[in-house]
Structure 1
């Protein structure tokens, strides 16, 4: 079944674009916004409305499927593509992208996605958000044309066997790190709470505020969680451990702090995302390796998660090859085509690095559902509840999409078995 049309409509995303550099330099809150001037190119304000492009692909039978172009909350930071402006990029999708893809067979998902991935317009590669959203629509188009699930299309493209149970979902609390986390406990969320520890105020000048928060997590999880609840705590510190301790990261002071975090989290496992941000990929990898080796030598069982400077598929390869992290966040909008996220998960197979299929609060329900299929197709270690920072909505979208897909696949497989039995 051929693609007959591609259309782009500017829209909103599930959260906001934030100038991370300005925030790290001390921009103060003014209610929900920030006071001060932005410092990252493309920003008009330190916090501004998130944008998306709704991509509709029309098939020759009149069916229309969708993908959404989105970019991460902290666009333009840590080596990422510049701020994504929908009005600027929509004509690219209806112009050069449509010219390339219209007329192609929708069932050739991988070929279509790779063609998109390699496209250039006026000598420049397509913005990651364009590749991300259009490839979602291509995935949906292939599933529609083949009358199967997006999970099965992705699994066929990657040569994988899909998961038969939902992948553990990681809930993010946003700044409401107490109320939203209590919601997660009540719902028995397996990985939580993210917590958004992105300032010295939130971590404490010597790390004491974060320690107190981790102790609270243990206490409230045991009070509110379901029977036999065994959560994994995952906290994103946005490089703040490096801010308060600095390198070298294998010295006693730093390792002792991680040991204190491990003790505070007991009996539950703990993952710390983005312990430092040293400004470039090479030095970030070296610092993460140094920390990981220091923790191992001291017998401190806290996992560290790569985020900053781990954006592209090539970045994921570099972190995994160096053994720089226990988990790598595969930040789906930053990898471009959605199949690249699946390939990045697969790259972790056979290594001692686990794959966290992440993304951003600044996505949409469409991109979140597409990523749920990637998580199932690759059986990732964990996947992010998204979009938004309210927790409940994103968790519902991702968890329900996985459950619905698993149920559909089971029904389809049972129908095939019944048909074979009837023929016999």
Structure 2
């Protein structure tokens, strides 16, 4: 009979999940840090907002491009080596930044190294851990690990803002480096690649149950997922709307809210706390959106979310002031609830069209999200440099949200069976789902 190893009567799967949660918290926090340092870097080196935004753009592009292949990397090299390598890349990018003196070094360190590092600790990692280690409570664990991103933002942003104001951005960078390195021993102590490595089975599985194969875990399957998605018009409509989602969240607000608030006289620490507060309401909004997605047409939800976000961005320039006024808090609460509320209905539509292939196809939709974020991170900085204000960046983002709502409204409801699982065997791929009968508006 298979023995179930425990540490203090806790199944090993929960230790793996705990270490994974901490790693994801760190990855989310590390990616959010540059927004706090934008003004200090601008004042010390004279780098434009566009240059600093370009570093964030590279970061976001690599984060998104790595996501579809993260599970494959872990299948090929193991979870612990990939996580360790990712954390070392983050530590190198942040630690070496204290010596930088030119813009290209910022692009290399915060853009390339930190982007590759955090991209390896993303949704592919969440899918790998939850699928390999859990049968029971898999949905709960997936939700908790997904919410870790907002938690990381909540923890790191106010702390880094305070350290940057009090001791300088170099001290803050070194603390981020130390935090990344501190996670590595925990990864090696608690995380294992498979339950069999510690003589057990996944949490909730029968003692004699075979290990569940992790689908979509190879590079070829990831590439075929893109080909499969590209055949379907709904994929492009979702990818386009989700790119706008990235533009109006991570790219614009996540990168430029703090310097935009600072332009209106708000202290960096206050602006960072407001941005972190968005993370609190983000968790509540995402959970509620998931509940609604089970009961309301996902397309209708997306239309409502994007139109509401556009309205909030349109009025944001009028709400910013030296102090956190009640009107500012209204924006923070509303925008936080809407921040990633688009994810559950977007996944639901992907699942409707692609069935078991949802993880890999959504990975490519998520890549479009990060590409959009990258465009906005640079574009908003360019507008700020050219016009001395972020106002038009917010207004353009509001207009883009209307376009996203139109794209989502154009998605047809699918009634036939979704496409088959993406595998390494091309014979298992179905024809273009659009060729099936039964689609209607």
Asked if Structure 1 and Structure 2 have the same fold, meaning a TM-score greater than 0.5 normalized by the shorter chain, the answer is: no
TM-score normalised by structure 2 residue count: 0.28
| Larger RCO (alpha carbons 8 Å, 6+ apart) | 2
Larger strand percent: 1
